[in-house]
Structure 1
Amino acid sequence: MSALSFIDGTTALTIPTIPTRRDHLSGDGRSQGHIMNAQPSKIALVTGGSRGIGRAASYELARLGYVVAVHYRADAAAAEQTVAGVRERGSDGFALQADLAAPNGVEKLFGEFDRVMSQRRQPARLDLLVNSAGVADGGSLEATSPDLFDRQFAINVKAVFFSTQNAIKRMTSGGRIINLSTVVSSRVLELDGKLNALSAYAASKAAIDALTRHWAAELGPRGINVNAVAPGPVDTDMNAAWLRTDEGQAMMTAASPLGRVGTAEDVAGVIAFLASPASQWTTGQVVDASGGYRL
């Protein structure tokens, strides 16, 4: 038996590492019998990992050697597809279901995480949390209902806040928190010269920018880095209705000095940097990953 020690302030946490089978487990703990080496891998949890930027980030983290816990709300097949992609890239993963808008959603997510880690006979530790789950419902000031407003803040802010609260209980020095923000938190999005009314969404993401800075200061003494990534309009299912039209493609291409529309993979590359040892001296930052949108 070997051991891996993590130092957190004055406390040393020793985790035994036992050579065993690397059982690929789904959220219900079913094994698919792959071999695990004795050295424990880093563990990442990606909320909203079943599609879009969350999926692309899961793949990049797999390439870095993270075991990836892929959170999803409703589409189990999409989450398992992400897990399959993680395995194809040489790592391991499993899916976790939870509705983060529900009152007990975050509690359920981390309860499931702990359960699966126990089934794997591994400690419920976490090295990285990527807060990728979010919604971007539009609406003018006059048209925004209380329900629409509450949904934005329940998922984009409250779930991020309490997911991070739960994650740091499972982290030691060297841990990372990466939040998904948006350039819309600091600038107005225009489509064809017209304001795209996203004020509630923009406000929710501005809260994420503030939380990122405050958490970086609060968690820095524990050796935990906190950063955010701010994409511009990206070609994902969320933006498909307008961005995958000829008009949308032309507008976004013209808005970028790089002359093309951004992809989920573009943003995932920035997330991978912040998850890697190369970013150890980067914290409290909101990194623009918009391709220079409307410089």
Structure 2
Amino acid sequence: MLATLDLHLLNGAARPGLRGAARFVAEFWYFGIKEARACLFVALFFAAVFLVPRAGLFGLPRYDVLLVAALAIQAWMVWTGLETGDELKAVSLFHVVGFALEVFKTSGAIQSWSYPDFAWTKLWGVPLFSGFMYAAVGSYIIQAWRLFDLRVRHHPPHWMAALIAILIYANFFTHHYIGDYRWYLAACALGLYARTTVVFRPLDRERQMPLLLAFVLIGLFIWLAENISTFWGVWRYPNQVGAWATVHVSKWSSWSLLVIMTFTIVANLKHIKARIHVPEH
């Protein structure tokens, strides 16, 4: 059924009969379906987060069950061809990068947030499943690239994009010691990607939007998912220990910057890089 759905979604045959409001509704409908389909890993993973009771299952603690679920989802996606070997390498890199950030942020010296429950698969106080929350963002971008037949115009030189991505990642660590430079980095990213547009096909015609807007929107949805996850007690910020509170809106900017870093890694996949236009001047 999933293969049949994908074939249907990837069918870009012209539909000349669609005009006006009917075309808007149809394209909006298909845009929503493709977005939901691109979120397959995210949806399955967060379904596990919400469905697994805090006490765990079958004698396994909750965090361990979530790790098994995430590994099973990832293996299924590769086995069915939903992700290629190269894409799996990129997703694995997201996992490692995210896990390293989690270890730092939850360390005794920083304590930005914590994972309060016991697990056998905790390293340095961080459950191994946590890296999949970052990998899920990469999986979404990879799936969306295929389903929307994405192309990028006026992308900055890849070395510049890589440099700003590295600095963004480094700032998540260094701002605890030498100040937070996220807004300076955001300004640099704004300059780099100011002319960059992403071309996508929701139905049969190409549409486009500023790539920066896509970064901000994806960051917003991650922030919303983070609020849901903390409400369910998967992890907690210090101000949520006594009673749950909304995750501070400043985290939206952090997630948007992290999306830029994730996009940069995806953009270096061979089959995706071929669809990115970098102007010579």
Assess same fold via TM > 0.5.
Answer: no
TM-score interval w.r.t. the shorter chain? Answer: under 0.3
Higher relative contact order (CA 8 A, sep 6+): 2
TM-score (structure 2 length as normaliser): 0.27
Higher share in strand: 1
Structure number having the greater helix percentage: 2
TM-score by length of 1: 0.26
